[in-house]
Amino acid sequence: MKKIIQTVILITISLLIWACGSAPINTSNTENEEPVVIANDRLAYEIIIIDPGFSAFLNGIAQPEGFYSQSYLEARNRVWVITWNQRAQNPSRYKNSIYENIIDYQPNIDYGYEVNYKLFNYFLFAQRKYSMSLGGGFRTNRIN
């Protein structure tokens, strides 16, 4: 009887742990995925993200626009851009297939909400997809 109870408890705990795992993003359709363009026409500023899975992340996992304030997004982006650019400038230490380009993000320029929102979410996406941390205390689960 004791073994049956232990087995039932073990199965229950296993199911709970399995159920609490993060859901992977469906990347089977990412080959035809359109790039995400982050732009502010007024500032002639544009970033094109062609990382497979980012559109699905932005449309299905990311918090909706308006969830974060622009000042919050700007604060996170300032920190993450510095880390990103340091890694992009050091390809012998960090994968240049991830950190391909420097991001020219000036803290004294108002890029607007949309630019900050999409850039912030790309950083969240990249941290999850590549199992990395850009700092700031965000813990991320890997995207399969």
The reply to whether 32 falls in a domain is: yes
In percent, how much of the chain has pLDDT > 90?
A: 44
The reply to whether 135 falls in a domain is: no
Q: How far apart are CA 11 and CA 143, in angstroms?
A: 26
pLDDT at 117 over 60: yes
The reply to whether 66 falls in a domain is: yes
The reply to whether 136 falls in a domain is: no
Helix, strand, coil proportions of the chain in percent (round to 5)?
45, 5, 45
Q: pTM of the full predicted structure?
A: 0.70
Q: How far apart are CA 47 and CA 36, in angstroms?
A: 8
Provide the pLDDT confidence category of residue 6 given band limits of 50, 70 and 90.
very low
Number of domain units in the chain = 1
Query: Would you state the pLDDT for residue 97?
Result: 87
What value does the mean pLDDT take over residues 83-110? 91
Q: How far apart are CA 83 and CA 62, in angstroms?
A: 21
pLDDT at 105 over 50: yes
Radius of gyration of the chain measured on its C-alpha atoms: 19
Structural domain that includes position 108: 2-129
The reply to whether 74 falls in a domain is: yes
For Cα atoms 49, 54, 55, give the angle at the middle one, nearest 5 degrees.
95
Average pLDDT of every residue of the chain: 77
pLDDT at 4 over 70: no
The reply to whether 142 falls in a domain is: no
The reply to whether 139 falls in a domain is: no
Query: Would you state the pLDDT for residue 24?
Result: 45
Query: Would you state the pLDDT for residue 140?
Result: 54
What value does the mean pLDDT take over residues 80-95? 93
The reply to whether 99 falls in a domain is: yes
